[in-house]
Amino acid sequence: MGLSFHPHPGHVLVCDLRGYIVPEIVKVRPVMVVSAKLPHRSGLVTVVPISTTAPRREVDYVVRLSRNYRPDSPEDLPCWAKCDLLANVALARLDRFKVDRRKYLAPRATEEDLARVRAGVLRALGWSY
């Protein structure tokens, strides 16, 4: 695992979050990149985890995505961005989705989904949008 390129905002990737501590997310799961590449910070990316588990309560910092971006499951599978679990991770934790023996994909979210996830991050941090 580990990317050889810096992903763009909106890329949906696989992230190995093992080693974190509960109640943080502690497994391998899809994430959406929400940060641009910053000077002097090329080895880190800010991501929001994506889950197929619906939130227990409706909250404005858990954003339902318009579609499932995982290439290995149905596009109409409901997915949520858990914007309160924002994380800065090393590129070494990230990878593309393996879809075939030698084929890997890094889908891009729509501009609308990316904007809604970024707004959810602001709400999760208690900042107005």
Whole-model pTM: value is: 0.93
Segment 85-126, tens digit of pLDDT: 999 999 999 999 999 888 999 999 999 999 999 999 999 999
Instruction: Please identify, in words, the CATH class of the domain defined by 11-125.
Output: mainly beta
CB distance 48 to 82 below 8 Å = yes
Q: How far apart are alpha carbons 16 and 86 in whole angstroms?
A: 14
**Could you tell me if 47 and 32 are in contact, meaning their C-beta atoms sit under 8 angstroms apart?**
yes
Domain ranges of the chain: 11-125
pLDDT by residue (tens digit) across 35-48? 999 888 889 999 99
